Structure formats: C-alpha cells, structure tokens
Amino acid sequence: MSQLTHFDEQGASRMVDVTNKEITDRVAIAHARISMRPETFQLIMDKKVKKGDVLEVARVAGIMAAKQTFSLIPMCHPLNLTSVKIEYTNNAVDTIDILAEARVTAKTGVEMEAITAASICAITIYDMCKSADKGMVISDIHLVQKSGGKSGTFVFGKNV
C-alpha cells in the first residue's frame, strides 16, 4: 500500500501540495444504491411523491454536492468542475442504482466529488421518501472508475 499523503513526517494533518503536479483531464465515476419497499419504488417511478420529482431533485442535489465537496471533506482541494452527471438505473422492483460522473482539468482528481455526488443523491432520495418508507437502505457506495493524473486509470474489480 502506498504511503498516506495527508500526514507529514511528524504525523500532522496537511493538505497535499499539488503545486508541481501536471494539469490533466480527469474523470471519476462513483456508484451508490438505494433499496426500498416496492410501493415506495412505484411512488418514485410514478412521480407521486408529494415533495416533487424525487429523481430530478436528487440529481440536482448530487450535482450541487459535487461542487461543494471541498467544504465537506477536510483536505479536499477546491476544484473548478467542468461537468457533473447523474444517471439512474433500476431493477423495476425496489432498487435504484446511481452513477455519478465528475470531470475536471486540474492537478488533482475528482474521485471525492463523484463519490459525494452519488452519496448525496441517495441521501436525497431517502429524505424525500422517508415519510413513506423509513426502512430504505443506502449501500454499495464506491468508486467505479477514474482516469487521469499520475496514477493513471482505475477500474473497480480490475485494480482491487
């Protein structure tokens, strides 16, 4: 395992110095899953949740969260994101899978922005539907893939 970079030789916390890193195009995709009762799933799909279109509100929340990642996670660099996209897939029964993609041209990666977007998207779905189903489960949050930068490409399952 590589050395942790957010601590100096004395063990003090620090923000990684990216001054001398190369600017490259960077992309990260993260996944989150939310499972629920079939009745709750159907309310979402039929757009009958009283708070509004759950998936569109959650999409906006995920995009907004990606843009604020640096203020949520200590030592995370502020980035001028060039794109954030949220996509949904479902099994037509009780589960919504979320894929969040973040892009930037910068000296540091966008993994945390993608993971934050996917997570907040799932949390927003929970928030909007909790009155109908408090037993929803958010799970399987992970980095799917990333490219760009010195460490190159990572693909979940191939590099793990």
**For residue range 76-104, what is the model confidence (pLDDT) as tens digits?**
999 999 999 999 999 889 999 999 999 99
Does residue 17 belong to any structural domain of this protein?
A: no
Residue 4 forms part of a structural domain: no
pLDDT less than 50: residues of the chain: 1
Q: Indicate whether 92 belongs to any domain.
A: yes
**Owning domain of residue 68:** 24-155
Q: Tokens 């897939």 — which residue?
A: 89
Residue-level pLDDT at 73: 94
Bridge partner list, 30 = 100, 143
The residues assigned a catalytic role are: 127
Per-residue model confidence (pLDDT) at position 1: 37
- Residue 160 lies inside a defined structural domain of this protein: no
pLDDT at site 6: 76
pLDDT of residue 65: 98
Q: What is the residue type of 110? A: V
Encoded amino acid at 3, one letter: Q
CATH number at 123 reads 3.30.70.640
| Total count of domains within the chain | 1
**What confidence score (pLDDT) does residue 27 get?**
98
Residue 121 has, within 13 A of its CA and on its CB side, a CA count of 31
In-domain check, residue 121: yes
